Amino acid sequence: MTDQSLETTVGDSGGAPPDLDAPALYDNRELSWLDFNDRVLQLAEDPGVPLLERLKFTAIFTSNLDEYFMIRVAGLHDQVDAGLNDRGRDGRRPTEAIDAIRERALGLLARQAACLGHLRPALEEHGIRIVSVDDLDEAQRADVQARFRRQIFPVLTPLAVGLGRPFPYISNLSLSLAVLVRDPVTQTVLFARVKVPKEMLPRFVTVGDASGDEATFVPLEEVIAANLDALFPGMEILEHGYFRVTRDADFEVSDEADDLLRAVEAELRRRRFGEVVRVEVDARMPIPLRDELTAALGVEDRQVYVDDGLLDCNDLWQIVKVPGFPELRDKPFVSVTQPRLQGEDGARGDIFAAMRQGDVLVHHPYDSFSTSVERFVEQAVADPDVLAIKQTVYRTSDDSPLVPALVAATERGKQAVALVELKARFDERANITWARKLEEAGVHVVYGHPALKTHAKCVLVVRREGDGVRHYIHVGTGNYHATTARLYTDFGLFTCDPQIAADVADMFNFLTGFARPRRYRKVLVAPAHMREGILREIERTIAAHERGEHARIVMKMNALVDKRCIRGLYEASMAGVQVDLNIRGVCCLVPGVPGVSETINVTSVVGRFLEHSRIFAFERGEDRTVYIGSADMMPRNLDTRVELLTPIEDPALKADVMDAVERCLVDDVNRWTLGSDSTWTRVAPDPANPEPRSVHREMMLGHTSRAAETQQG
Write the pLDDT tens digit of every residue in 9-60. Answer: 666 555 678 999 999 999 999 999 999 999 999 999 999 999 999 999 999 9
Mean local confidence (pLDDT), 248-255: 63
Q: Residue 59: which residues within 8 A CB-CB, separation 6 or more?
A: 313, 314, 315, 316, 317, 320
So what's the pLDDT on residue 249?
83
- Looking at residue 623, its amino acid is D
Please list the residues that pair with 161 across neighbouring strands: 191
Lowest mean per-residue pLDDT among 409-423, 561-575, 586-600: 409-423
Architecture of the CATH domain 134-249+279-320 = 2-Layer Sandwich (3.30)
Query: Model confidence over 324-342: pLDDT tens digits?
Result: 999 999 999 999 999 999 8
User: Which helix (DSSP H) or strand (DSSP E) does residue 512 occupy?
Assistant: helix 498-512
Rounded CA gap, 117 and 115, in Å? 5
Q: Is 64 annotated as a binding residue?
A: yes
Q: How confident is the model at residue 448 (pLDDT cuts 50, 70, 90)?
A: low
For residue 271, what pLDDT is reported?
47
- Whether pLDDT at 3 is above 70: no
Quick one: which of 688, 691, 644, 632 has its CA closest to 663? 691
In order of 125, 553, 665, the CA distances from 601 in angstroms are: 42, 11, 9
Torsion of Cα atoms, 66 then 71 then 75 then 81, to 10°: 60
What is the pLDDT confidence band of residue 443, given thresholds at 50, 70 and 90? Answer: confident
397 pLDDT band, cuts 50/70/90, is: low
Residue 697 has pLDDT above 80, yes or no: yes
Q: What is the pLDDT of residue 418?
A: 84
Place 254 in a pLDDT band, splitting at 50, 70 and 90: very low
Mean pLDDT across 519-543: 95
Answer for the pair 341, 371: CB distance below 8 angstroms, yes or no: yes
pLDDT at position 623 over 70: yes
Longest Cα–Cα distance of the chain, Å, equals 92
Confidence tier at 423 by pLDDT (50, 70, 90): low
pLDDT given for residue 427 in this prediction: 56
User: Tell me, what's the pLDDT at 268?
Assistant: 46
Q: Which of 77, 364, 455, 474 is catalytic?
A: 455
At 276, give phi and psi (nearest 5°).
-70, 130
| 524-712: in CATH 3.60.20.10 | no
Confidence of residue 345 (pLDDT cuts 50, 70, 90): low
> What pLDDT was estimated at residue 514?
65
pLDDT in tens, 181-220: 999 999 988 899 999 999 899 999 999 776 667 899 999 9
CATH 3.30.870.10 residue window(s) in the chain: 339-512, 524-712
Element (H, E) at 251: none
- As a whole number of angstroms, the distance between CA 403 and CA 397 comes to 9
Burial class (CB in 10 A: 0-12, 13-18, 19+), 583: buried
First-to-final CA distance of the chain: 57
Spacing of C-alpha 100 from chain mean position: 23
Give pLDDT tens digits for 121-156. Answer: 999 999 999 999 999 999 999 999 999 999 999 999
Residue ranges, comma separated, of all CATH 3.30.1840.10 domains in the chain are 134-249+279-320
More reliable by pLDDT, 64 or 511: 64
Has domain 339-512 been given CATH number 3.30.870.10? yes
Phi, psi of 378 (to 5 degrees): -60, -40
Which residues are 502's β-sheet partners?
none
Amino acid 16: pLDDT: 79
pTM here?
Answer: 0.92
Task: Find out whether 395 is annotated in a ligand binding site.
Answer: yes
Whole-Å CA distances, 333 to 319, 321, 329, 365, 699: 21, 16, 11, 9, 11
Is 488 annotated in a binding site? The answer is: yes
Give the span between the Cα atoms of 18 and 257, in whole angstroms: 45
Give residue 274's pLDDT: 72
Mean pLDDT of 593-610: 97
Residue 518 in marked binding region: no
Query: Among 57-61, 256-260, 348-352, which range has the highest average pLDDT?
Result: 57-61
Q: What is the pLDDT of residue 37?
A: 97
pLDDT at position 150 is: 95
Percent of the chain, pLDDT > 70?
89
- 545 in catalytic set: no
State residue 8's pLDDT score. 47
| pLDDT tens, position by position, 155-174 | 999 998 865 567 888 889 99
Helix or strand (DSSP H, E) at 679: none
> Is pLDDT at 273 greater than 60 in this prediction?
no
Q: pLDDT grade, residue 256 (50/70/90)?
A: very low
Contact predicate 290/241, CB 8 Å: yes
The pLDDT assigned to 11 comes to 60
pLDDT for residue 210: 62
- Cβ atoms of 640 and 452 closer than 8 Å: yes
Tell me, what's the pLDDT at 402?
76
Residues 616, 612: Cα–Cα separation, whole Å: 13
pLDDT digits (tens, 9 = 90+) for 652-671: 999 999 999 999 999 999 99
Q: Is the pLDDT of residue 362 over 90?
A: yes
**Is the predicted pLDDT of residue 393 greater than 50, yes or no?**
yes
Task: For residue 518, name the pLDDT band (cuts at 50, 70, 90).
Answer: confident
What is the pLDDT of the chain when averaged over all its residues? Answer: 90
Q: Is 425 annotated as a binding residue?
A: yes
